[in-house]
């Protein structure tokens, strides 16, 4: 097994060598090694120290975590039936192993023994925080349960790992199973040339050169429901997206209910009222009631503006189409909202595409972080990747290599939807005041290049790149000596601050002038187009706010309220909750929750935590005001943000870190002001 590439942590990951047949033997060996290392902590003779207790606990699982992260990543971006089978085979044993760690009486005794030592009493900074967090996590994960309770908790963890992975696979398979084929050019009316060209290329790739193929992947689905004039086809693809994974071979209905049932049992076994209270105890919100109060408060402040937007859209549609009192259907909303935006602001998102070639966007992004944080991003060649589309870059601070990252930006059928960042390797202190380099990645499903034409992005997609790169900086710039407190290992309602704050520069003309250049002429965006874009920025801001709050509300209600007796009752309840936030009635078979991977796929960091997006938006809207006040490209402010937030990981309470940057607590009105909703509220 010495040749197995998954057996050791490697900064230069041999992606070209990893095979499905490596997975099960590697994980079996790494599990055995990790168990032996944990037992060695229990058996350590002599006095308890940080190094032989907490330090050893940190190190014991590092190789296993690295391997399982790689396998999960590959299953997300380059899945095959063989890799999926291998990944599924190890999910249960790995989950059971990690669930057993806080249930190990010997480890719990060792931690308590160390906590009573003079060395522990004298700990400060990150080491003090690690001790406190570890003791709390062990208690919260069942260290004080009786043997029967511990056994049941391990069973729950193993089953949840398996079925949340299955949920994710069903979503991917159901998404890939749907195709809308168009053969009549008349059915393409209204669609922008970029969407038509992409659909033709997609059809050609499937061997049908005289047709157009649309899918449920975002770069295909969103333009269709936004621009296609044919209402029957808009309805068809919208319905397909919102009953995805609710029937047939990819049916998630029973999995959904089972996941909620197991999470409820897990929380109550550990002494919590519900899963939200269990999840949120170590986060900024602290409990489900506080998270729900935050969400409800935002909804109440937004309700009047939301109702006004719905009325305005309804009136606009009536005048445009002469449709009388008939309300729009949900598949009409994006279509008529786009027409309304054009009428009000003479602005069309598609007009911006030629100004956002992906290479120019990346160049501008890298220049921005160089100005703000004093780091240099450079392409590096000769590094093995998992697909030819993947690119690699190095991040440097002067002569020091801070890290390397992979960028995989375009959709494939073997790749899950969405956009995300992952940490692969966290560099360790080098003994000379520095750190070894960090390794990470960003993935997306952005509009791909067509033929010899470069990828031309929407403004939303530009924001997505900036967002994920903010997460990446949080990892690559970390200077926390302890792996479990480094980088993005922070409270989940704080983790979006470094990512969401980056989106703000996508709306600032001085920043846009750095990278928004016409693909053919190199000209910047005309002043008039920028003015119209900025004027339209908060168009239907209340509707966008309520959409996110609908996701947060259904999340909290499903994880806090009574459990539905049947899957049909569960889907109906979820639909009723989300309809409260919809400008149009939802159809009876609406089942978006069956593909809600943020909540029910593995990993499940957003379960009972979807409110985190809005919570962190308050933080980022407020924090960005310092850049606006002192300089959009100010190195002083950028370095202050780097030192206070990006480098600090979870080495201190998030509220303390925010105050270190802003000099005060967050202003809860900042988000409403940015969205133009403060006066309406």
The residues carrying an active-site annotation are 468
CB 181 within 8 A of CB 602: no
- CA 378, chain centre distance (Å): 25
Quickly count: other Cβ atoms within 10 Å of residue 477's Cβ: 25
CB 408 within 8 A of CB 390: yes
Residues 6 or more apart whose Cβ sits within 8 Å of residue 665: 655, 658, 659
Based on the number of CB atoms within 10 Å of its own CB, is 465 exposed (0-12), middle (13-18) or buried (19 or more)? buried
Tokens 């053919």 identify what position? 520
CB 513 within 8 A of CB 363: no
Q: To which H or E segment does residue 394 belong?
A: strand 391-397
Rounded-to-integer distance, Cα 260 and Cα 637, Å: 44
Q: Which residues pair with 400 in a beta bridge?
A: 397
Strand order in the sheet with 376-379: 376-379, 391-397, 400-408, 438-443, 420-425
CB 57 within 8 A of CB 102: no
* Strand 400-408 with 438-443, pairing: parallel
Give the residue from 223, 532, 471, 517 showing the smallest Cα distance to 362: 517
Question: What is the 3 state secondary structure string of 73-113?
Answer: HHHHHCCCHHHHHHHHHHHHHHHHHHHHHHHCHHHHHHHHH
| First CA to last CA distance, the chain | 63
Rounded-to-integer distance, Cα 208 and Cα 422, Å: 36
Structure tokens given for 169: 């696979």
Structure tokens given for 305: 């503006």
Buried/exposed 599-621: b ≥16 CB within 10 Å, e otherwise: bbbbebebbbbbbbbbbbbbbbb
Q: What angle do CA 590, 596, 598 make, to 5 degrees?
A: 160
Q: To which H or E segment does residue 616 belong?
A: helix 612-630
């Amino acid at each position: 097994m010495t040749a197995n590439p998954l057996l050791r942590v490697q900064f230069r990951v041999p992606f070209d060598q990893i095979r499905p047949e490596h997975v099960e033997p590697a994980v079996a060996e790494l599990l055995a090694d990790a168990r032996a290392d944990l037992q060695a902590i229990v058996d350590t003779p002599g006095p308890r120290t940080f190094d032989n207790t907490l330090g050893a606990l940190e190190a014991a699982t590092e190789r296993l975590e690295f391997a399982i992260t790689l396998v999960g990543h590959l299953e997300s971006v380059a899945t095959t039936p063989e890799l999926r089978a291998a990944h599924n085979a190890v999910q249960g044993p790995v989950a059971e192993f990690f669930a057993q760690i806080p249930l190990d009486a010997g480890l719990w005794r060792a931690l308590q023994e160390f906590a009573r030592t003079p060395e522990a009493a004298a700990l400060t900074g990150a080491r003090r925080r690690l001790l406190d967090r570890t003791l709390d996590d062990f208690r919260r994960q069942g260290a004080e349960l009786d043997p029967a309770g511990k056994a049941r908790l391990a069973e729950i963890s193993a089953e949840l790992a398996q079925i949340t992975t299955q949920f994710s696979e069903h979503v991917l398979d159901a998404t890939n199973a749907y195709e809308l084929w168009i053969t009549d050019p008349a059915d393409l009316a209204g669609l922008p040339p970029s969407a038509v060209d992409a659909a033709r290329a997609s059809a050609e790739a499937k061997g049908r050169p005289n047709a157009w193929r649309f899918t449920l992947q975002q770069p295909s689905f969103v333009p269709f429901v936004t621009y296609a004039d044919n209402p029957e086809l808009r309805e068809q693809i919208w319905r397909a997206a919102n009953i995805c994974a609710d029937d047939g071979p990819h049916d998630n209905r029973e999995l959904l209910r089972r996941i909620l049932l197991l999470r409820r049992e897990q929380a109550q076994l550990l002494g919590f009222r519900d899963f939200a209270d269990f999840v949120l105890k170590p986060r900024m919100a602290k409990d489900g009631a506080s998270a729900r109060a935050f969400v409800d408060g935002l909804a109440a402040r937004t309700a009047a503006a939301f109702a006004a937007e719905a009325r305005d859209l309804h009136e606009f549609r009536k005048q445009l189409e002469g449709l009388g009192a008939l309300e729009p259907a949900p598949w009409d909303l994006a279509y008529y909202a786009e027409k309304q935006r054009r009428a009000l602001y003479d602005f069309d998102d598609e007009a911006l595409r030629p100004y956002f070639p992906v290479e120019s966007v990346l160049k501008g992004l890298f220049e921005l972080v160089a100005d703000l944080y004093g780091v240099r991003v450079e392409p590096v060649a000769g590094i093995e990747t998992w697909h030819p589309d993947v690119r690699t870059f190095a991040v440097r601070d002067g002569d020091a290599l801070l890290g390397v990252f992979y960028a995989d930006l375009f959709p494939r059928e073997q790749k899950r939807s969405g956009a995300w960042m992952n940490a692969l390797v966290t560099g360790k202190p080098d003994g000379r005041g520095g750190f070894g380099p960090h390794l990470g990645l960003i993935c997306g499903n952005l509009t791909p290049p067509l033929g010899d034409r470069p990828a031309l992005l929407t403004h939303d997609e530009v924001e997505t790149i900036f967002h994920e790169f903010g997460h990446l900086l949080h990892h690559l710039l970390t200077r926390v000596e302890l792996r479990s407190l480094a980088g993005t290992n922070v409270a989940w309602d704080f983790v979006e601050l470094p990512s969401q704050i980056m989106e703000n520069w996508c709306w600032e003309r001085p920043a846009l002038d750095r990278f928004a250049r016409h693909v053919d002429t190199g000209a910047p965006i005309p002043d008039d187009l920028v003015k119209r874009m900025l004027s339209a920025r908060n168009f239907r801001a209340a509707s966008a706010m309520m959409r996110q709050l609908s996701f947060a509300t259904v999340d909290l209600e499903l994880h806090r309220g009574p459990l539905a007796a049947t899957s049909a009752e569960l889907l109906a309840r979820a639909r009723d909750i989300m309809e409260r936030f919809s400008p149009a009635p939802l159809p009876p078979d609406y089942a978006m929750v069956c593909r809600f991977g943020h909540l029910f796929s593995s990993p499940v960091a957003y379960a009972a935590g979807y409110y985190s997006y809005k919570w962190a938006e308050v933080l980022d809207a407020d924090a960005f005001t310092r850049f606006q006040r002192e300089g959009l490209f100010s190195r002083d402010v950028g370095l202050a943000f780097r030192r206070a937030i990006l480098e600090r990981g979870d080495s201190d309470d998030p509220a303390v870190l925010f105050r270190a940057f802003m000099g005060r607590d967050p202003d809860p009105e900042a988000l409403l002001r940015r969205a133009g909703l403060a006066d309406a509220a």
